Amino acid sequence: MPSDSFRILLPLPAQGAAETEATIVQWHVATGDAFSKGQVLAQVDSAKSVFDFEAPCDGQVVEIRHQAEETVSYEEAVIEIETSDASMKDWIPPAASAPEFEAPPTAAPAVVPAAAGTVKCSIAGVGACLPTRVVTNAELIKGFADISEQYIQQVTGVRQRHWIGDDEKPSDLAYAAALDAIKSAQIATDDIDAIVLATATPDVAMPSTACILQQRLGLRPVPAFDLNAACSGWLYALTMARSMIASGMAKNVLTVGVDVQSRLLDRTDYTTCFLFGDGAGAAVVSAGDQGHQLHQTLLGADASGLQLARRSAPGFVTNPTEGSADPWIRMDGHALFRVAAESFASLIRDAAESTGWGLDEINWVVPHQANARILKTAAKRCGIPFDRFFMNVDHVGNTSSASIPLAMVEMQDALSAGDKLVLCSVGAGITTAAVTLQW
């Protein structure tokens, strides 16, 4: 370096006024490397986006103070450089822009333990259905000249997703998943005493998709109803099934989570159109301990986050030319990221504590596949290694209420008897749910 060179410490550039920290994904330079102004020094993951940390001047790396995968405050230096650029002597890190909204609460919504009851309940069998059509990032980015396939995968974790065909409906997916679960449970269809179906995208406003499913299955008259807790819906359904069994109302309850959101996406809205896939998952919940035992349930909802994820029109199809309601799914991605990450972390800790498990005893966390970055952040905050989070978001996307049962079907061959699982979800509302399960 020239004789007039000097050293300076650089922090990461803040991406928003409400943000306080970011995670270094990968360094592109090492100690001793020379670099040019504008060269990418590192890739960084913030609550807002994945971004490039660019050199503000020409120089040379003296020391890298924080390594890849570390989460660092924006106020803390991550790299020391040497430069002869005189303008850097008075350099001030660029200020983040002012927030455009009043920040929602960052703490997790309160959760309320469900009554455990005296009757043991188990998951006797699980089933799943994904549409045959596979939609890749390459197909979806055609309307976005400045976005690459790799960027979508970095930001969301999604590489591809399944979408229904023109002649398919949510009840079609639910029916296939239900048959799969009943077969897995090794019971007859007539042994089903009730259907609880979770969905935010029913076939029609009424009758319920649960009743449509009941007809498809040829079931005798039994209770059948829908519930809507958005992405937390299937865990709510699981809890309802457990309560029906504990009350003596039923011995075998078919629970289904199904959502078809591919037709509800504004293809010009980059915050939603890459995230969602269609699918259905199901489980038979039975009295007794012959299956995979359900332990504790935590449910919650906090309406202060009502506007973070929303859709004004009902159903799984829409006509944007009719009515004044916005027909598309909308999300406040930045604020939702922070609330969801903290909520997931709190749910996992609270679920383990209420069951009497230490965090190191948990073999698998099976989260709703919201977004890979959200779940990586949640893993760091709850203290469980991310490699113990089961992830399939890369090839199915966010399938809302179907997400957890779909994951359970995919991972079941890798599970061993006695494995301890925490199932958890955060959904629009904001709804939260967690269930502890022993395989």
Strand partners, 256: 197, 282
Asked if 232 contacts 432 with a C-beta cutoff of 8 angstroms, the reply is yes
Which of 57, 231, 273, 382 does the annotation list as catalytic? 231
Handedness of CA 52, 53, 59, 61 (dihedral sign): negative
Tokens, residue 324: 């004044």
**What is the C-alpha end-to-end distance of the chain, expressed in Å?**
62
Strand partners, 198: 227, 257
Which of 121, 211, 368, 371 does the annotation list as catalytic? 368
If you search the block for the tokens 């995670």, which residue do you land on?
A: 23
Which of 137, 228, 252, 398 does the annotation list as catalytic? 398
Amino acid symbol at 424: C
Reply yes or no on whether 368 is catalytic.
yes
Reply yes or no on whether 137 is catalytic.
no
Reply yes or no on whether 252 is catalytic.
no
Q: Which residues are catalytic?
A: 231, 368, 398
